Structures are given as C-alpha cells and as structure tokens.
Structure 1
Amino acid sequence: MICSAFLVGYLLDYSQTGSFKMTNGILFKTDIAQYVITGLILMLIYLAFYGLFNHFFYATAAFYIFFAIYTVANKLKMLYRMEPIMPNDLNFLTNIRQILSMVTFKVIIVVVLVIILIITVCMILENIFTYELMKFSPLMRIIFVVLGILSIASFYDVNKEGTPINFVMTKAGYSNFTPNISLTANTNGPLLTFLGNMHIDIMDEPEGYSKESMTKIVKKYQKEADVINKNRSNNNLNKQTLIFVLSESFSDPSRVPNLKVNQEAAPNIMNIKNENTSGLMLSSGYGGGTANMEYMTFTGLAFNQFSKAVQSPYTQLVVNQKHPTNIVNSFKKSAAIHPYYGNFYDRQTVYPKFGFQSFRNLNTTGSLALKYKDTIDGNPYVSDESAYKDTLWQINQEHSGQFISLVTMQNHMPYNVMYPDNPFTVKGSATEITQQAENYAKSINFTDNSTKEFLDKIDAIQKPITIVWYGDHLPGLYSHNSMRKYNVVQHETDYFIYSNKYALEHGYGTKKLTDSTEVTDPNGFIPLALKQMNQKVTPYYALLTKVQEDLPAMAKNSVGKNASLYVDADGKQISSKHFSTNQKQLLHDYKLVQYDLTVGKGYSQSTINK
C-alpha cells in the first residue's frame, strides 16, 4: 500500500513535468517534504477505498484506475494547455462524452487496455489471496473512509494564514502563492495543487479600496468620457448591430516558430486584416480557455488580475453574480450562438446573467434550435459556414440594432480529420505530429473562405453592422516549441474589426483604425469597437479606452514567476516595473474597478456604466 501510494505520487508528478530528470530532482532533492505528504494523502485515500470494498485487491484496482485516469488527464491538459487539472475542471464531468470526443482514439485505447489489465490482475490476485488478506469491522471501515475524506477536506483552509493546516504545510515548504499555477504544480505536485485550490479568493482587494475611492474614480472617468465624446457623433448604441465572432483556435500558423507551411492558409483573412482595423490579440490561453477570452470580451475585465487559482470566471465567478457589468447590457436586443453543447463552461447559466435574450446551441430545440448544423468532410463539429448562416438569420430578425455573440467550433481539437485533397504540407520541429498541423491548416482555410463569404453578405445588408472577429488561442499543436522561449508569439492570435458598407456610408463605422491596434487583448475589444462605431462612451468604457490605448496588452502568464504578461505594440514583453507613473495609476484604477464590479461591494456598479 505504501509503495503504491508513492509510486502513484511519482507518476502524478511526472505527468506534470514530463521529465524523469526534473521529477527526480523535485521529489528526491528540492521538494521531498511535499512528496512525502502527497504519498501520505494517497495512502489515506487508498485506505478509504479499502474501507469501501473491504477487499484489498478490489481497493487496489479502484485506486490505480482512479489515479491512472487522473494522471493521463493531467498529462493531456499539460500537453494541450500547459495547466494542471484543477477543481474547476470537475465541471466537465457532466460533458464526459464530449470530452472523450476531443481525446485521440489511441489515448482512449491505451487507457482502456490499462484499466482492463489492472482489473484482470487484481481479480486474479484477489482470488488467490482472498483468505489471507485482512477484512475489517464496519467501524474500522468507516474510520478508513473518514480518514480519506479528512485528508482531502483538511486542505480547505490551507491558504488561510493561522490555520493548523497552513502552519503544517508552510513548515513543509508548501507554497500556493506562486503566480504561475503550472510552476506551483511542479514544486508542490499536481495533487497538492489541486487540493490547495478547492477554496479560493477570486481577487485580492487592491490597496485604497473604499466607497470614497470608487466615487472619485467614477467622477474621474466621467470627465474622460466627456473628452472622448466630443469627437464621437453616435449616442444610441441600439441603432447599430455589434457582433463578436470568436473563431475557435484560429491563429495564422505562419507566425509559429520552427514551422513552415507550404502556402498561406488564410489569404482572405490576411487581406481583410490589411484593409481594416486589425492586429494581434494577446491570448490568456494556449490550446484552450475559450470561455475566458469570451469573458474578457464581454466584460472588459482582465483575466490576469484575478487570483491565479481562477481558471474559469464563468464557473467560478459569474454563476454567483446577479447582474455582471458587460457589453450585452448596453443593448436592448441580444442573442448568443454556439454550435456546440450549451452546458460547456456553464454557458446556459452564464449567458442569461449577462443579459442574452436567446442562446442557440446543440441542446436547444423548437424556436431556439440552430437553423444550420452542416459539417465538412468528416469534421465532427458544425462548420463555420453553418455558424455564419445562423448569425445572418439572427441579424435579419431585428430591424434595429442588437448585440450578437458567435462562438464557432469548426477548428476545435483534436485535429485528426484527414481532409481529402489537402494541399497543405508542413515542415519543422514545432509539432509532434505533422499530419495534425496539416489538417489544422486545411481547416482554417475553410474558415478563411466562409469568413469572406460572410462579410460579403454583411456588406449587402442595409443597416449598420460592426464585427469584432478574433481567434481565441493557438491550437495545442506546437508542443516541441519551448513556451519559455516563445511565450509571446505562442499567445498571439489574429483579430480584425469590420464595419459594413452601410455603416461606413452613414457615419456608423470606420475603415481602419491604426492607433494602439498592433497588439491588444480581449478586454480591449469593447473600447476598440466603440471607437470603430464612432459611439459615445460611459465612464466605464472611457476607463477601458484609456487602458486599451495607454497600457500594454495584458494576459495571464503561463511561464515564469510573474502573474501577468505585458506586451507592447512591438510584440515585446515588458515588466510593470517599467510603467510610467500615469500607467501605474491607470492600472491601479482598473484593478479597483475590476474588484468592485466582481467581488467587492459594488459601489460603482449603478453609476459607472451609465
């Protein structure tokens, strides 16, 4: 039992680091105490299984199967997203069939074979040694189960100073305050990191937070709004249609280091970018995190300013809010479209809280059903062409303006679809499986063509429409590239903002903005869109405008010890230590507002966005 516990602890840590050398260094040299504690917890969990089954080898089978699945899941998440399994990920268990569809068939077969092997061996051993092994009384069995539960539950207050568990773990060298969650998991191990994040604070209270300070901030940015609005002619947002299009995993592969594609995968989109407001978007995800980019675009709030344990604002924050401040509430009419299952990231709960009046997805039926669900050439996901058709249908349902969110699925992992007559070939050391990179290139080429057709149809509509179009993150295909070396470029996707012909001809749109557009972040899309639409702003949108124009693009960092990644217009990473005095004050104002609107007292909520 002891050997099994420490073996599983070792394999868990290896799933995190991906290196036996690094794992050995951590477990047997630098962080021995954390490894011992992990082993003890695993042993108590093992005992809990023993208490449940009262058969040693049945308990052994359950123990190894559970942690085999955990280890593989952690390895896959590190491979595709560079993040360990966190408590918030348990929400995806309600979508287990859809999750399995995203895992390669080879991995599923290997896991199934391992499970069969474990069960077979344990059944044989149980039959051989059934009379030699101890059986326990009901009282002892209950004690074993309780000990297992307590070993997990005791971590509830591990991050709260003064608690016994915090004292013990701190003495052992445990720390959960490293800004980078993957770095934390490397030293503590994925199990202790998981347990240490069961109970979290969403955001630390910024210095100087009070009702008085928030009143001053509202007044300050009301003045900024007055200045901005002198040069803006449109004061009724409901006369315009604003569409946010999140293009799943879209990012031009030609920018990826150590990767060469034989031809341009998205020539139409690159041409659209050249002629319209466009640039690169700094993503807070790699290989995943779609809903987090959604959250930032809707709210204008920065993911990196939450605590590092916040992995999904949707499921950890918004579900508990009553009326979160966001762009949807600025419109009288709004609709969301996502051609996948609506319960992913709890969207079916989150979207109504944002104010969406309808949400079309694969789960909805009747009048709320998706109108188009076609796929292309073996791809299991609804095509972008179909998603665009649903969006066009929604546009035509309203005579005046509305807000529409479209989140596509066509280019989602895994990239195993072998498209016929694929003209794309890929060379280079960036990706482990070249064929998948070639499949991805062909997939976004389909997106390229359907996006151009979509914009052509938008141009024919006789009402003002502005589209914010962006890729949410790179696909998790480039595992051979060092993230430490290529951190910035592998977190940059493409975006453009497009105003249709009617908007341009009637003073509701701008062809190409060039100020502070080279590199932005998802939280910068609201102010950029309003500027593109020549739309007057509220104090809140004035603050976001200042942040977008005067601060570098920001994202949650996945490498190193800094919680935030800041990137300037030249694509260079910079430190907040080098910010000017005005930039530091602006950033502090931003944090105060973010805290107030999310987990604070809400002093500004009734006035800042009016």
Structure 2
Amino acid sequence: MHIKKSVFIYLLQFLFMLFSVALVGYLLHLSQTVDIKATNQAVFHTNVAAYLLTITILFLLYLAIYGLINRFFYATAVYYIFFGIYIVANRLKVAYRKEPIMPSDLALLRSWKQLFSMISWKIVVLAIVSFVMVVAFCVFLGKHFSKDTLQFNLITRIILVVLGVATIGSFYNVDKQGSMMNKITAKTGYINFAPNISLVANTTGPLLPFLGNIHTDIMDEPKGYSEETMQKIYRKYQKTAQRINKNRPNNNLNKQTLIFVLSESFSDPQRVPNVTINQDPIPKINQIKQENTSGLMLSSGYGGGTANMEYMTFTGLAYNQFAKSLQSPYTQLVVNQKHPVNIINSFDYAAAIHPYYGNFYDRDIVYPKLGFDVFKNLQTKGKDALQYHSKLSFSTFVSDESSYKETLKQVNSRKKGQFISLVTMQNHMPFNVMYDNTYFTYSGTAAGMPEQVANYTNGINYTDNSTKEFLDKLDAIQKPITVVWYGDHLPGMYDKNSMEEYNVVQHETDYFIYSNKYALEHNYGTKKIEQNTAITDPNGFIPIALKQMKQKVTPYYALLTEVQENLPATAKNSVGNSESLMVDQNGKQLSAKQLTKSQREIQKDYRLVQYDLTAGKGYLKTKINK
C-alpha cells in the first residue's frame, strides 16, 4: 500500500512538472507576442516542434534545479520565480524595444537598481507580491509534504545537474552547420536569424533565440580577407585622403573642440504616423536644423539601444555588419579590446559626461578603453564630480539644462581643443512624468497610452529651449567648436503602429551639426552642408563633422567619407527578411541588389576594414587612422 502511494505521488509530481513546463513555455511565448490568438496559433499549430523543444529544455532545467536542491516544492519555487522574472523582463523589453531578452542584456544586471527605477512601481509591486505568494505556498507545502515526495541519491542529483548544464551548453555551436544541436533546431523550424530576432522569437518563443545567442562571434570573416588585401585597401584610401585633403585647410584636430550630444530618445513625434500634436514642440531645433547641416539619422534601435548608437558614432563602424550574436558592442566587444580605432583617440584630451550611473552598459570600463581621459557621472567623486544635476518637476533624471551647463563647464576648462561626449537622460523612459506646465496634447491611434506621448512631448519642448540656450552660449566662446547633436532612437511608446508598415519612419531620428560663431569666422566651420546629409546613419557623423570642420582626413576617415557620401544609410533591420535596413537620400528603402558596382566595392572595403579592426588580425590597426 505504501509503495502504491509513493508511486502515485511520484506520478503526480511528474504530471505537475509537465504542466509547469508547458505553462511556462506558453507564458514565455505570450510575453513575446502579447497576443493569445497568435500564441495559440504558433504553439498548437504552426510551430509545435519548436514549442516541444522549448518545454523539453524547460523540463531538463526543472530537473536540474530539483537535483540541485533535492526538495521538490523548494525547487518548484525557484523554478517559478526564475522563469517568472524572465517572463516579466521579456514582456517589458518587448513593450519598450520590440525585441526579446538576449544574453548581452545580462550585463545590465550590474545596474539592477537603475533598471528597477525605470519600471513602473505598480509592475514591481505586483511582481514581488506574486513571487512572495508562490514562495509562501511552496514553503507551506514543503513543510507538510516534503517527506512524501521523491528525493534523489547523490549520483542521480549530479546527473540531473550535468544534464541541465549540458542542455544550455549544447547551444554553443547551434549556428555551426552539421552540429547535433543545429540539426535538432533545424528540424523544429528554428533558425538563428538575428536580423529579425523578434520575428524568430514571435514564432518559436524567446527561449530558443536566447540560448542560440549565448556564444558571441564578433563578425563573420569577409571573402578575400588577407594581409595583401588589407594593404591594397590602405593604399587605396591613402590616395582618397590625399584627394579629399586638397580642399581641407585644417590639419590639427586639437585646435578645435568637437562635441557629440546624444539626446536621449529624441525624435520629433510629429513625423510619427497616426500622431497629432496640438502645436510644434520643437520650433527652435527645427529652426536650427533649417539653418545648419542637418537631416534624419537612421537608428538601429527602437525604444532602446543607446549604447549601440554611441558605439557607431565613436568608431564609424556599422552595427549591422557584425555577427548575428553580437547584440551589444560595448559589453561584448569593446570590454575585451585594447585601444580600438575611434574619433576620441584623434584628440589629445577627451571627456565623457553622462548624468546617470557609470556602470550602465559597462561605460565605466568601456570609456577608458575608447580613450576618454575623464568620465563624469552620478557616481564620480572629487574634482571631476558633476556640478550640475538638477531635475525637472517630478522627473528622476537630470535635466538637459543641467547637462548642458556641465558641458559648458568642460568646454571652458581647457584652452586647447578637446573631444566631449554628452549623453543626456532627461527624456529617458518611463514616460509617466507629469511636468508642472503642460502645453501639449496628443491625439491619434499610434500609442496605447496617450498620456505618455503628451508627457514625452512636454519633455522634448524643455530640450528645445535648453538646446538653443546651449548653442547661444557656445557662440560667445572665443574658440572653434562644432556640435554633432542627435537623437538615438524613438521612444518605445508607439505600440499601436505596425513596425512592418512604418519600419523606416519609426527608425528615423533628428540630427544637426552646428559650428559656433568663432569657427565660422576663422575658417574652422561650415554653416550648412547640403549634399548627402538628408539622411545618414550614426557611423556617418564622423565624416560629416570633419567636412564641417574643414579638417583633413586619415585613410580611415577617407573610407568613412566614401561610405557616407556614396552608400545608403544603413541600420540593423528589425522586420522583414533582410539583415540590413538601407535607405537612400530620398528616404526610399533599398535592397542590396539595387546597389551599383561601385557601391558594392565600397561596401566590401568597409566590411573588410571593420573585420580587420574588430575580429581579424589587425593588419591596419596601427596605421589606418594616422
């Protein structure tokens, strides 16, 4: 009788575990699609094999936790808490950025306090209460019924844990053709197609794309890569630089100050389809754009991806040319590099200002590697601590006005030229901040939470005023200064708009390049460059800025100039079947097949140089930017 009872309990445990993995697998998929009908279609009809693979993995991980703890109810609590956090986190990332949680996101756990500050307190409280209830229930069951549940001997426990670890490890070479896991996933219909990682996650669930990107490859080796090829490219762009430099009078960057301003989440909402604002929230910036070099920037992010835009502006390298698994160059690439080639190293002195926590996206590690001499953030102490850090109304972030004051202080701290990077925070999500004075209202069908659009619009109006004041003060400084000012991505609040339908426009932000009065009067600046500036990508800012500053170029900057002036703007695609989103100067989306022979040649050179500087042998690293 006792044996029959034990077998019955063990059977109940097994059935409960099956139910749990099926439930978690379903909820994971739902956190990605946010659509019960679409989830049911994928799980029960079109992608059953991928769902079965997902719940098999979940079952093996459940067993591993069980083997590790050897107490069924406590293991169940850990299992539900862990995957509950995963489900909530994935849902939030999809809501704000339209993409699933990836392994590169784990680097942000260093900044978990800051992440929590960006999430609505209602969500945090609801999640904590739910998790506490699960733990309390499992502890109660554990105290009263643990002696009746299955417990393993030591060898079985080790086997179960090893199985769980091996399950995760088996995805290390999932992209390698012919590997066992590659064959298994191929039969389920899963393909690690990172150009549209959201599409993959929507069809297979987010777990398989997560595991499929555990191993990071920097970049696939381009065909024809060799030392001989790279030397030919070097000589080619030496000649290009000589041609460009005939019309550039300035040969010393250190006589000028170059400021890159990344304006967090800035993009004119009036350009977004199905959005109507009662009045222009950024009249001053629109006037600045009209009178100076300006246009639209094609972003590789939506609702996030700030550090990736930074990386492209600093290095001139294209995010969309990296390998599928490299989702965050800062945390996956730069942290392991020594003196990467970038615009910062072209100056004798460089300062970074970011009125937030320095460890976000590993900036405290990355910035020194890029060549910054000082990094001013909320955690900086002593003489380099932020002097200006006031906030607007109920906002938790430092205002743009304060950030600009800090930047002006840095500009005036040195007589010679310097490079300055300012990454603002005022308009960062969440967009539930209510300002004291609200002059803007939103109507339309683009946003599920209309009040967020109104709040955001009020925020960028403050940016509009403070930006004009900042430029006016730069005009009063008696040394040449050029500002590259841009929004990094759209805010992720236009959730009712179809990304498939509005892919291009919802990846276009505003930018302008401004030379101060002294620079214009002393032949260190240009008022307005008209050609090839209507739309660019972040990696195009270096060559446009150098042209604006009438600055001679190195072979590397000559290559970037050719890329910017002759190739369409590119970004990492988020929808469709193409790795790259390409847009010409007329705002028209192009395909790779539409590139001319000369464009393909430039693109090939660009790809080879990017590979050489990041994943290759570094044949040109020490000389291409000199």
TM-score band by shorter chain is over 0.9
Matches for 1:97-176 after TM superposition, within 5 Å: 97-176=113-192
Q: Secondary structure at the match of 1:169?
A: helix
Q: Does structure 2 retain, via aligned residues, the 8 Å contact 1:337–1:359?
A: yes
Q: Secondary structure at the match of 1:180?
A: helix
Task: Note if 1:415 corresponds to 2:431.
Answer: yes
Which residue pairs with 1:596 in the alignment?
A: 612
Task: Note if 1:489 corresponds to 2:527.
Answer: no
Q: Does structure 2 retain, via aligned residues, the 8 Å contact 1:237–1:535?
A: yes
CA distance in 2, matches of 1:518, 1:297: 17
CA distance in 2, matches of 1:289, 1:607: 31
Which residue pairs with 2:209 in the alignment?
A: 193
Matches for 1:177-576 after TM superposition, within 5 Å: 177=193, 179-576=195-592
Q: Secondary structure at the match of 1:405?
A: strand
Q: Which range moves more in the overlay, 584-593 or 30-39? A: 30-39
CA distance in 1, matches of 2:337, 2:393: 42
CA distance in 1, matches of 2:106, 2:273: 34
Deviations 1:312-359 (A, max 9, x none): 101111111111100011111111111111111111111111111111
Deviations 1:568-598 (A, max 9, x none): 1121111111011111111111111111111
Q: Does structure 2 retain, via aligned residues, the 8 Å contact 1:242–1:403?
A: yes
Q: Does structure 1 retain, via aligned residues, the 8 Å contact 2:216–2:332?
A: no
Q: How many residues align?
A: 610
Deviation at residue 199 of structure 1 after TM alignment: 0.5
Q: Gaps spanning 5+ residues in structure 1: where? A: none
**Aligned AA (1:433):** M
Deviation at residue 180 of structure 1 after TM alignment: 1.3
CA distance in 2, matches of 1:434, 1:189: 29
CA distance in 2, matches of 1:409, 1:304: 25
Q: Does structure 2 retain, via aligned residues, the 8 Å contact 1:175–1:188?
A: no
CA distance in 1, matches of 2:190, 2:401: 50
Q: Does structure 2 retain, via aligned residues, the 8 Å contact 1:175–1:184?
A: yes
Q: Which range moves more in the overlay, 55-64 or 575-584? A: 55-64
Deviation at residue 487 of structure 1 after TM alignment: 0.5
Q: Which range moves more in the overlay, 572-581 or 137-146? A: 137-146
**Aligned AA (1:3):** F
Which residue pairs with 2:14 in the alignment?
A: none
Deviation at residue 178 of structure 1 after TM alignment: 5.2
Deviation at residue 124 of structure 1 after TM alignment: 3.5
Deviation at residue 223 of structure 1 after TM alignment: 1.1
Which residue pairs with 1:40 in the alignment?
A: 56
**Aligned AA (1:225):** A
Deviation at residue 501 of structure 1 after TM alignment: 0.3
Q: Secondary structure at the match of 2:311?
A: helix
Deviations 1:290-333 (A, max 9, x none): 00000000000110111232111011111111111000111111
Q: Which range moves more in the overlay, 555-564 or 142-151? A: 142-151
Which residue, out of 76, 79, 98, partners 2:95? 79
Q: Does structure 2 retain, via aligned residues, the 8 Å contact 1:181–1:308?
A: no
Q: Secondary structure at the match of 1:427?
A: strand
Deviation at residue 128 of structure 1 after TM alignment: 4.5
Q: Does structure 1 retain, via aligned residues, the 8 Å contact 2:195–2:572?
A: no
Deviations 1:346-403 (A, max 9, x none): 1111111111111111111001211111111111111111111111111111111110
Q: Which range moves more in the overlay, 458-467 or 357-366? A: 357-366
Deviations 1:248-301 (A, max 9, x none): 000111111111111111111111111110000000000000000000000001
Q: Does structure 1 retain, via aligned residues, the 8 Å contact 2:259–2:421?
A: yes
**Aligned AA (1:272):** I
CA distance in 2, matches of 1:240, 1:408: 23
CA distance in 1, matches of 2:358, 2:136: 39
Q: Secondary structure at the match of 1:400?
A: coil
Which residue, out of 13, 32, 38, partners 1:22? 38
Q: Which range moves more in the overlay, 54-63 or 235-244? A: 54-63
CA distance in 2, matches of 1:173, 1:439: 43
Q: Which range moves more in the overlay, 142-151 or 383-392? A: 142-151
Q: Secondary structure at the match of 2:484?
A: strand
Q: Does structure 2 retain, via aligned residues, the 8 Å contact 1:552–1:568?
A: yes
Deviations 1:503-536 (A, max 9, x none): 0000000001100010011000000000000111
Q: Secondary structure at the match of 1:131?
A: helix
Q: Secondary structure at the match of 2:351?
A: strand
CA distance in 2, matches of 1:332, 1:200: 33
Q: Gaps spanning 5+ residues in structure 2: where? A: 1-16
Deviation at residue 127 of structure 1 after TM alignment: 4.1
CA distance in 2, matches of 1:158, 1:312: 20
Which residue pairs with 2:75 in the alignment?
A: 59
The two structures, once aligned, show a CA RMSD in angstroms of 1.3
The alpha-carbon distance between structure 1 residues 422 and 475, as it changes in their structure 2 partners (threshold 3 A), is same
Q: Which range moves more in the overlay, 323-332 or 151-160? A: 151-160
CA distance in 2, matches of 1:11, 1:92: 23
TM-score, normalisation: structure 2 = 0.96
TM-score, normalisation: structure 1 = 0.98
CA distance in 1, matches of 2:155, 2:340: 49
Q: Does structure 2 retain, via aligned residues, the 8 Å contact 1:222–1:538?
A: yes
Q: Secondary structure at the match of 1:179?
A: helix
Q: Secondary structure at the match of 2:485?
A: strand
